[in-house]
């Protein structure tokens, strides 16, 4: 089987060393002593001092230590590596290691945080919101919060390193193989040419395969380098859940002024993200949050600030979407509230704001699809009728006690997410894709992140075939490793589906033009252009910020059992425009997966599975009813252009629509997720 | 302790520590790489096997509990015509499980089709209610399983 | 870690003998509960002696008479559903359906669900109010007890040394209003998980029998006999005054529950009971809200 289909826990060799990370059990302080007497024989210990190169993992302009240099910044920070041929002795050794700490340090909290915990701030402003706020007395103020999200089920993560012909051969399920290589080179103090990185099967993943494989591979390489033996480090599922990637919590304060027609005159929003002890990709996270929060609402006076707060929590690392779902949650709940204040149906209110076809960065998008998407979900969900019916029912209701009549509500959320990076992260490396048309008219595409999903590879073959007039079967996506493939950058943020696809197009267009001028084979490489060079100015936040946008409108209908306060989703209706969709049914499947994940996040569940519901018949039926929230997804039918990401947009709008629906059902403003029965009760009890 | 069982139709004998979970025994000692335990809590379904024909999760069982019993895993299904029925059904309905959970979804489907070749959506949802991976939506999956049942019925009738 | 000694008796006599010899042994059948208790991906932590009892034919039997249904303690949940789905009381079959998912129900046994040492799981409430009886056996003796007698008042296992659950006997009685609801997973979210089981017999508009039980986090069970006596004999629908009296009675019983049950859970239970009382009616086949 190809390496890219094998999981990392399938790689092993006789006599290899098994590794385990010994982690700090305090959240902040200094290691004062490590007592390692009485350890089982054959246990090897590695610490920061054993690193001959630089003890760090660097990502763009940020970094974190590979092994603690004595300082502890979060609970679970790696202090030592222990290694043995027999994995069972590792647990025993870990128990016998005695690490003492100086703990006379105060924790870095998220709420409240001090000013010097702010590691970066991104701000966008238009007009003069401060002046407007001074001159009015009618303002809408609110705060929103989301908590950490983590995932329990992911493919194994780790690294296996061995020496082959004097070079380090590294197997790891990375989404960024060249980062693995550069990290190892730096940690070991060797040249990158001494390292070969082979990608193993990473899926399914939630962002943890972008940087974590580099960390684990550097650790395993350190042991391999210092012992000459093959080494394997695998994280246990619990370790992976706790210490790899989590969705960063956010706290948002929003203040707005509406005019009599219900239009927003001024809007100020301040988002604070808890990025944990070591932030990575901070600038990108903050920029994405600001842009998606500003969204398409044409507000003349606006100020949006996003701040990254360093805390003593384990690093949140890179989670799918980088801050977008949190920002869209707060924005859309807030704007639904504004719609309510303006006494307009939220569907109409949103459509009123799409007229100018601009997004916050000023980019004019004549084909902005939002109005159509809103129309679609509103019609499919029967939104207007339900919204007004639920509104009336709620207003008529005196008491819910002792009746089991469900409280029903419906909510809508709209917005966009971006595909590709806003800025190409500051790196001196060119990320690109290569293509070669050989004498037999066979095209070979070389992409450094070869674990790109099969569905996307199929799209490349189809497009390349169309451009060059050859059969898709004549197109091959090369397999290989860092020795043979070009550096294509990290696979994240919709890069494969949009950015790499556009590179494949550009390579093929070049070949098509040269085909009858030049002898075959024709080789070409195309690099990812910084969006900056074309239409995007990050300093002034103007232009088209991403390679493409994915748009969506989502309606969620809920009912709340007044006795148990357990919310149930009665339906989700979603319409997306993610550019050109090749396989609609497959796209729908991906979107549905994202929607169920978002519902789980919103309800504080690990997952949304079919569940048994009583229909509250006290007699009669044979079995309780097994239900799964019904989900309907449609895609706008784009005939041409680039495909766009589906995951992020499908995940990002559901929580806001869910919370808005629950607010309508109960008449209480909910402003956080997750919302479970206990949190709902606490809101209902609060004096309004 | 000594353990003997029938694994995918073959008699197997092995030494096993009594505290070893069945999934770890099957994966580490018997090299059954199709099992992907990720929750060890009976929730993700990625270690599903058939034990004497019944669907069970091997992370919840101690290895010694299968003494003398018969186990079928994905490896025991993959080379059969029954596997073809399942994959054809999945394919027809655009149910494409990821490489991580495909084996579990095949085993669970096999367990459904062993009890009925004409399952309804409720039965399929029920069987998959103990799975987690979001790669394939439940509706495509349910249609895929029902379609797989049709393929198998047709194949058995033609025989 | 040193290996445990595992006994896998194949007959009840062998089990009785072995358990008498090693009364400290851990009795294990489906093993689902212990697996879910021991979180983490390591090996199981087992005591020195383990008695694995899932292959004893006598404990795997299901039988039925005119008066009762009898289930061996090691019968998997799914088999009970397969055999008894249409004849067993709904309050019980709904509880069985709500146990995890098919793969767990294929392994987990009724004895394990009912006799779980530290948690009162799905079937405890229904079998309590159904007046189910449990056969306890040990070498040289056997006795039948009611379900609540499996535990002491403080929730500790009340089985004698060397004693195990062998059969569960569920009487057939006509209950025309049955209700069961479970909220939350007792393993992953024990604090917010509860079960509510209720049985009512109504004849010509009069409640001839009335029973309710709640189970909460861990060992907390609430069956309020005073409430049951109060409601029995009354006409449906219950008057507002009667419901208020019942509510106040039940409220004080709830407040006496141990502190591990949160106020939120108690409020939920109270609301569920109030609703149930207000929903009691002359049986029909109509949907009832």
A442-458 pLDDT tens trace: 999 999 988 888 889 99
Residue of C nearest to B15 (CA): C3
Mean pLDDT over A567-593 rounds to: 93
- pLDDT bucket at A615, cuts 50 / 70 / 90: low
Interface of A to B at Cβ within 8 Å reads 5-7, 10, 152-156, 201, 203-204, 237, 455, 583, 585-586, 588-589, 592-594, 596-597, 606-607, 609-611, 626, 628, 631
Cβ neighbours of A235 in B, within 8 Å: none
Distance from CA of B158 to the nearest CA of A (A): 31
Cβ neighbours of C1 in B, within 8 Å: 17, 19
A589/A658 same-domain check: yes
C200/C242 same-domain check: yes
At residue A400, the pLDDT reads: 52
Q: Are A140 and A133 in contact (CB under 8 A)?
A: no
With respect to residue A605, please indicate whether it lies within any of the assigned structural domains. yes
Question: Of the candidates B16, B42, B73, which is a domain's last residue?
Answer: B73
pLDDT per position as a tens digit, A293-351: 999 888 999 999 999 999 999 999 888 888 999 999 999 999 999 999 888 889 999 88
Residue A533 predicted with pLDDT over 80: no
d(CA A260, CA A265) in angstroms, rounded, equals: 10
Task: Note down the domain range covering B39.
Answer: 2-73
Is any Cβ of chain C less than 8 angstroms from the Cβ of A402? Answer: yes
Q: Which letter does DSSP use for residue A499 in this model?
A: I
pLDDT per position as a tens digit, A264-292: 899 999 999 999 999 999 999 999 999 99
pLDDT per position as a tens digit, A54-105: 999 999 889 999 999 999 999 999 999 999 999 989 999 999 999 999 987 8
pLDDT per position as a tens digit, A106-157: 899 999 999 999 999 999 999 999 999 988 878 899 999 999 888 766 789 9
**Lowest pLDDT segment from A386-390, C42-46, C134-138:** C42-46
Q: Tell if the CB–CB gap between C279 and A404 is shorter than 8 Å.
A: yes
Which site among B57, B96, B131, B137 would you substitute to test the A interface, given the most A Cβ atoms closer than 10 Å to its Cβ?
B137
Nearest to B129 by CA among A148, A613, C33: A613
C88/C194 same-domain check: no
pLDDT per position as a tens digit, A158-186: 999 999 999 999 999 999 999 999 999 99
B64/B90 same-domain check: no
Q: Tell if the CB–CB gap between C1 and B17 is shorter than 8 Å.
A: yes
3-state secondary structure of A20: strand
d(CA A359, CA A322) in angstroms, rounded, equals: 20
Nearest to C40 among A238, A615, A617 (CB): A238
Distances (CA, A) of A662 to A557, A655, A672: 8, 11, 11
Beta bridge partners of A545: none
With respect to residue A222, please indicate whether it lies within any of the assigned structural domains. no
Mean pLDDT over A469-491 rounds to: 95
Helix or strand run (H / E) with residue A561: none
C9/C51 same-domain check: yes
A416/A436 same-domain check: no
Cβ neighbours of B17 in C, within 8 Å: 1, 3, 43
A513/A578 same-domain check: no
Residue of A nearest to C185 (CA): A605
CATH code of residue A398: 3.30.365.10
d(CA A532, CA C176) in angstroms, rounded, equals: 73
B10/B43 same-domain check: yes
Cβ neighbours of A151 in B, within 8 Å: none
At residue A401, the pLDDT reads: 52
What is chain A's mean pLDDT, rounded?
91
Residue C58 predicted with pLDDT over 50: yes
What secondary structure, in 3-state letters, does A621-673 show?
Answer: CCCCEEECCCEEEEECCCCCCCECCCHHHHHHCHHHHHHHHHHHHHCCCCCEE
Is any Cβ of chain C less than 8 angstroms from the Cβ of A619? Answer: yes
- Give the CA-trace dihedral at C120, C123, C129, C130, to 10 degrees: -150
Cβ neighbours of A152 in B, within 8 Å: 38-39, 43-44, 132
Is any Cβ of chain C less than 8 angstroms from the Cβ of A439? Answer: no
Chain C residues 42-81 with CB within 8 Å of chain B:
43-46, 50, 52, 54, 76, 78
Cβ neighbours of C76 in B, within 8 Å: 54
What is chain C's mean pLDDT, rounded?
92
Task: Note down the domain range covering C213.
Answer: 177-279
C152/C194 same-domain check: no
Cβ neighbours of A596 in B, within 8 Å: 134, 137
Contacts of A172 (CB under 8 A, 6+ apart): A8, A158, A159, A160, A180, A197, A198, A199, A200, A213, A216, A217
Chain C residues 99-118 with CB within 8 Å of chain A:
101
C34/C104 same-domain check: yes
Query: In terms of residues, how long is chain B?
Result: 159
CATH code of residue C15: 3.30.465.10
Q: Please report, in angstroms and rounded to a whole number, the separation of the first and last CA atoms in chain C.
A: 56
Distance from CA of B105 to the nearest CA of C (A): 13
3-state secondary structure of C249: helix
Residue C247 predicted with pLDDT over 70: yes
A469/A580 same-domain check: no
C80/C195 same-domain check: no
Split into its structural domains, chain C has a count of 2
Q: Tell if the CB–CB gap between B137 and A588 is shorter than 8 Å.
A: yes
Q: Are A632 and A646 in contact (CB under 8 A)?
A: no
Q: Tell if the CB–CB gap between C192 and A676 is shorter than 8 Å.
A: yes
Is any Cβ of chain A less than 8 angstroms from the Cβ of B20? Answer: no
At residue A403, the pLDDT reads: 65
Chain C residues 197-216 with CB within 8 Å of chain A:
198, 200
What secondary structure, in 3-state letters, does A417-444 show?
Answer: EEECCCCCCCCCCCCEEEEEECCCCCEE
Q: Tell if the CB–CB gap between A404 and C275 is shorter than 8 Å.
A: yes
Nearest to A124 by CA among A537, A552, A653: A537
d(CA A80, CA A493) in angstroms, rounded, equals: 33
Strand boundaries in A505-546, DSSP class E: 522-527, 536-537, 542-543
Q: What is the ipTM of this complex?
A: 0.95
What is chain B's mean pLDDT, rounded?
94
Is any Cβ of chain C less than 8 angstroms from the Cβ of A401? Answer: yes
With respect to residue A87, please indicate whether it lies within any of the assigned structural domains. no
Residue of B nearest to A586 (CA): B94
With respect to residue C284, please indicate whether it lies within any of the assigned structural domains. no
At residue A371, the pLDDT reads: 93
Residue A613 predicted with pLDDT over 80: no
B17/B41 same-domain check: yes
Mean pLDDT over C259-288 rounds to: 84
pLDDT per position as a tens digit, A501-521: 999 999 999 999 999 899 999
| Proportion of chain A above pLDDT 90, given as a percent | 72
**Lowest pLDDT segment from B35-39, C66-70, C93-97, C232-236:** B35-39
Residue B87 corresponds to which tokens in the numbers above?
């994959």
Mean pLDDT over A587-593 rounds to: 91
B142/B84 same-domain check: yes
B63/B102 same-domain check: no
With respect to residue C36, please indicate whether it lies within any of the assigned structural domains. yes
3-state secondary structure of C179: strand
Cβ neighbours of C8 in B, within 8 Å: 64, 67
At residue A317, the pLDDT reads: 86
With respect to residue A205, please indicate whether it lies within any of the assigned structural domains. no
pLDDT per position as a tens digit, C149-171: 999 988 999 999 999 999 999 99
Residue C284 predicted with pLDDT over 70: no
Neighbouring chains of B at 3+ CB pairs within 8 Å? Answer: A, C
With respect to residue A29, please indicate whether it lies within any of the assigned structural domains. no
C13/C119 same-domain check: yes
Cβ neighbours of C268 in A, within 8 Å: 563-565, 677
Distance from CA of A564 to the nearest CA of C (A): 6
Distances (CA, A) of C100 to A410, A611, C106: 30, 10, 10
Q: Tell if the CB–CB gap between B40 and C40 is shorter than 8 Å.
A: yes
Mean pLDDT over B74-89 rounds to: 97
At residue A311, the pLDDT reads: 97
Split into its structural domains, chain A has a count of 2
B153/B112 same-domain check: yes
Is any Cβ of chain C less than 8 angstroms from the Cβ of B93? Answer: no
Nearest to A237 among B39, B139, B140 (CB): B39
Distance from CA of B15 to the nearest CA of C (A): 12
Distance from CA of A343 to the nearest CA of C (A): 32
B68/B111 same-domain check: no
With respect to residue A193, please indicate whether it lies within any of the assigned structural domains. no
Q: Tell if the CB–CB gap between B134 and A606 is shorter than 8 Å.
A: no
B69/B90 same-domain check: no
Mean pLDDT over A622-643 rounds to: 84
CATH code of residue B131: 1.10.150.120
Residue C287 predicted with pLDDT over 60: no
A569/A664 same-domain check: yes
Question: Of the candidates C133, C154, C171, which is a domain's last residue?
Answer: C171
Nearest to B99 among A203, A597, A628 (CB): A203
B148/B92 same-domain check: yes
Neighbouring chains of A at 3+ CB pairs within 8 Å? Answer: B, C
At residue A535, the pLDDT reads: 75
At residue A426, the pLDDT reads: 61
Mean pLDDT over A195-206 rounds to: 92
Is any Cβ of chain A less than 8 angstroms from the Cβ of B135? Answer: yes
Q: What are phi and psi of C201, to 5 degrees?
A: -110, 125
Q: Tell if the CB–CB gap between C271 and A619 is shorter than 8 Å.
A: no
Q: Are A212 and A244 in contact (CB under 8 A)?
A: yes
Residue of A nearest to C98 (CA): A612
d(CA A662, CA C266) in angstroms, rounded, equals: 23
d(CA A28, CA A35) in angstroms, rounded, equals: 20
B65/B19 same-domain check: yes
d(CA C25, CA C4) in angstroms, rounded, equals: 10
Contacts of A522 (CB under 8 A, 6+ apart): A436, A437, A511, A514, A515
pLDDT per position as a tens digit, C191-217: 889 999 999 999 999 999 999 999 998
Q: Tell if the CB–CB gap between B94 and A5 is shorter than 8 Å.
A: no
At residue C269, the pLDDT reads: 96
With respect to residue A674, please indicate whether it lies within any of the assigned structural domains. yes
Q: Tell if the CB–CB gap between A152 and B39 is shorter than 8 Å.
A: yes
Residue of B nearest to A626 (CA): B122
**Residue A371, CA atoms < 13 Å, CB-side half-sphere:** 12
Query: In terms of residues, how long is chain C?
Result: 289
C128/C201 same-domain check: no
C127/C269 same-domain check: no
CATH code of residue B14: 3.10.20.30
Global pTM? 0.95
pLDDT per position as a tens digit, C170-182: 999 989 899 999 9
Is any Cβ of chain C less than 8 angstroms from the Cβ of B41? Answer: yes
Residue A628 has a CB neighbour count (10 Å cut-off) of: 19
d(CA A411, CA A656) in angstroms, rounded, equals: 8
With respect to residue A381, please indicate whether it lies within any of the assigned structural domains. yes
A365/A401 same-domain check: yes
Question: Of the candidates C171, C195, C228, which is a domain's last residue?
Answer: C171
Cβ neighbours of A6 in B, within 8 Å: 33
Task: Note down the domain range covering A493.
Answer: 432-528
C139/C195 same-domain check: no
Question: Of the candidates C171, C199, C218, which is a domain's last residue?
Answer: C171
Is any Cβ of chain C less than 8 angstroms from the Cβ of B52? Answer: no
C185/C156 same-domain check: no
B47/B102 same-domain check: no
Which site among A153, A399, A624 would you substitute to test the C interface, given the most C Cβ atoms closer than 10 Å to its Cβ?
A624
pLDDT per position as a tens digit, B132-156: 887 888 888 999 999 999 999 999 9
Cβ neighbours of A7 in B, within 8 Å: 33, 36, 100
B91/B127 same-domain check: yes
d(CA B140, CA C119) in angstroms, rounded, equals: 37
CATH code of residue C249: 3.30.390.50
Nearest to A189 by CA among A83, A55, A70: A55
Question: Of the candidates B73, B105, B124, which is a domain's last residue?
Answer: B73
Q: Tell if the CB–CB gap between B100 and A585 is shorter than 8 Å.
A: no
Split into its structural domains, chain B has a count of 2
Distances (CA, A) of A500 to A434, A452, C79: 10, 10, 53
At residue C119, the pLDDT reads: 92
């Amino acid at each position: 089987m190809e390496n890219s289909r094998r999981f990392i826990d399938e790689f092993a060799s006789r006599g290899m060393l098994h590794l385990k990370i010994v982690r700090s059990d305090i959240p902040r302080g200094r290691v004062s002593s490590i007592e390692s007497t009485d350890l089982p024989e054959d246990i090897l210990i590695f610490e920061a001092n054993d690193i001959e190169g630089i003890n760090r993992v660097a990502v763009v302009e940020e970094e974190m230590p590979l092994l603690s240099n004595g300082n502890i910044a979060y609970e679970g920070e790696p202090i030592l590596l222990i290694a043995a041929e027999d994995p069972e002795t590792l647990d025993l050794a870990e128990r016998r290691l005695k690490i003492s700490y100086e703990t006379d340090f105060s924790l870095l909290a998220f709420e409240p945080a001090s000013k010097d915990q702010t590691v970066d701030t991104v701000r966008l402003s238009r007009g003069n919101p401060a002046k407007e706020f001074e001159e009015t007395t009618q303002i809408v103020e609110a705060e929103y919060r989301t908590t950490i999200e983590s995932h329990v089920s992911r493919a194994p993560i780790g690294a296996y390193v061995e020496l082959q012909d004097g070079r380090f051969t590294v197997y790891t399920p990375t989404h960024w193989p060249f980062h693995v290589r550069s990290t190892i080179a730096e940690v070991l103090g060797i040249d990158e040419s001494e390292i070969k990185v082979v990608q193993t099967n990473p899926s399914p993943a939630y962002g943890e395969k972008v940087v974590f494989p580099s960390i684990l591979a550097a650790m395993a390489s350190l042991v391999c380098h210092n012992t000459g033996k093959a080494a394997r480090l695998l994280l246990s599922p619990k370790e992976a859940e706790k210490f790899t990637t989590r969705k960063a919590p956010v706290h948002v304060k929003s203040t707005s002024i509406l005019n009599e027609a219900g239009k927003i005159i001024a809007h100020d929003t301040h988002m604070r993200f808890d990025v944990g002890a070591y932030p990575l990709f901070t600038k990108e996270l903050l920029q994405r949050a600001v842009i998606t929060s500003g969204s398409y609402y044409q507000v003349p006076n606006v100020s949006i600030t996003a701040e990254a707060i360093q805390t003593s929590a384990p690093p949140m690392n890179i989670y799918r979407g980088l801050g977008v779902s949190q920002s869209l949650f707060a924005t859309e709940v807030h704007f639904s509230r504004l719609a309510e204040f303006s006494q307009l149906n939220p569907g109409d209110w949103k459509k009123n704001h799409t007229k100018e076809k601009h997004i916050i960065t000023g980019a004019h998008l004549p084909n902005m699809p939002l109005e159509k998407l809103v129309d679609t979900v509103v019609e499919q969900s029967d939104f207007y009728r339900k919204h007004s019916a639920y509104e009336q029912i709620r207003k008529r209701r005196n008491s819910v006690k002792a009746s089991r009549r469900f409280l029903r509500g419906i909510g809508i959320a709209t917005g966009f997410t971006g595909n590709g990076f806003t800025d190409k992260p500051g790196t001196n490396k060119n990320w690109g894709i290569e293509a070669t048309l050989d004498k037999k008219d066979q095209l070979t595409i070389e992409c450094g992140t070869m674990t790109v999903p099969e569905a996307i590879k199929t799209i490349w073959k189809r497009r390349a075939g169309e451009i060059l007039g050859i059969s898709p079967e004549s197109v091959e996506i090369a397999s290989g490793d860092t020795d043979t493939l070009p550096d294509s950058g990290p696979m994240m943020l919709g890069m494969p589906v949009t950015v790499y696809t556009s590179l494949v197009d550009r390579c093929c267009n070049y070949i098509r033009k040269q085909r009858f001028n030049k002898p075959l084979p024709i080789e070409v490489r195309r690099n990812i252009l910084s969006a900056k060079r074309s239409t995007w100015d990050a300093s002034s936040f103007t232009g088209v910020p991403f390679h493409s946008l994915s748009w969506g409108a989502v309606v969620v209908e809920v009912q709340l059992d007044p006795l148990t306060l357990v919310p149930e989703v009665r339906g989700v209706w979603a319409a997306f425009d993610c550019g050109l969709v090749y396989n609609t049914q497959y796209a729908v499947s991906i979107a549905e997966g994202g929607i169920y994940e978002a519902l789980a996040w919103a309800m504080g569940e690990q997952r949304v599975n079919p569940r048994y519901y009583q229909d509250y018949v006290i007699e009669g039926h044979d079995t309780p009813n097994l239900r799964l929230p019904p989900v309907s997804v449609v895609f706008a039918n784009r005939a041409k252009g680039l495909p766009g990401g589906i995951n992020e947009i499908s995940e990002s709008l559901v929580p806001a629509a869910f919370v808005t629906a629950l607010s309508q059902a109960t008449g209480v403003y909910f402003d956080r997720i997750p919302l479970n029965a206990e949190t709902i009760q606490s809101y209902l009890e609060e004096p309004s | 302790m000594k353990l003997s069982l029938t694994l995918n139709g073959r008699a197997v004998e092995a030494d096993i520590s009594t505290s070893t979970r069945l999934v770890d025994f099957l994966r580490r000692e018997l090299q059954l790489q199709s099992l992907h335990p990720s929750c060890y809590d009976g929730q993700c379904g990625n270690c599903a096997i058939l034990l004497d024909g019944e669907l069970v999760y091997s992370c919840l069982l101690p290895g010694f509990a299968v003494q003398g019993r018969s186990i079928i895993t994905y490896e025991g299904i993959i080379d059969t015509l029954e596997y073809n029925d399942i994959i054809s059904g999945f394919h027809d309905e655009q149910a494409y499980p990821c490489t991580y959970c495909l084996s579990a979804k095949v085993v669970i489907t096999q367990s459904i089709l062993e009890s009925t070749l004409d399952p309804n959506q409720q039965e399929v949802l029920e069987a998959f209610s103990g799975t987690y991976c979001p790669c394939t939506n439940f509706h495509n999956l349910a249609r895929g399983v029902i379609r797989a049942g049709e393929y198998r019925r047709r194949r058995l009738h033609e025989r | 870690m040193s290996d445990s000694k595992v006994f896998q008796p194949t007959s009840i006599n062998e089990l009785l003998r072995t358990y008498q010899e090693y009364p400290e042994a851990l009795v294990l059948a489906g093993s689902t509960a212990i697996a879910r208790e021991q979180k983490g991906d390591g090996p199981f932590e087992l005591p020195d002696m383990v008695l694995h009892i899932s292959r004893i034919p006598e404990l795997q039997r299901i039988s039925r008479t005119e008066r009762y249904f009898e289930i061996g303690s090691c019968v998997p949940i799914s088999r009970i559903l397969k055999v008894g789905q249409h004849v067993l009381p709904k309050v019980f079959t709904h509880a069985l359906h709500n146990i995890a998912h098919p793969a767990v129900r294929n392994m987990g046994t009724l004895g394990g669900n009912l006799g779980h040492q530290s948690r009162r799981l799905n079937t405890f409430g229904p079998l309590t109010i159904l007046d189910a009886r449990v056969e306890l056996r040990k070498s040289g003796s056997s006795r039948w007890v009611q379900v609540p007698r499996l535990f002491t008042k403080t929730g500790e296992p009340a089985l004698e040394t060397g004693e195990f659950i062998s059969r569960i006997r569920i009487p057939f009685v006509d209950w025309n209003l049955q209700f069961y609801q479970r909220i939350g997973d007792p393993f992953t979210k024990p604090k917010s998980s509860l079960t509510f089981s209720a049985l009512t017999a109504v004849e010509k508009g009069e409640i001839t029998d009335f029973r309710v039980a709640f189970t909460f986090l861990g060992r907390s069970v609430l069956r309020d006999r005073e409430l049951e006596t109060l409601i029995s004999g009354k006409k449906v629908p219950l008057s507002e005054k009667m419901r208020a009296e019942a509510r106040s009675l039940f409220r004080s019983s709830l407040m006496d529950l141990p502190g591990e049950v949160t106020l939120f859970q108690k409020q939920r239970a109270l609301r569920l009971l109030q609703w149930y009382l207000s929903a009691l009616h002359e049986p029909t086949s109509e949907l009832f809200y």
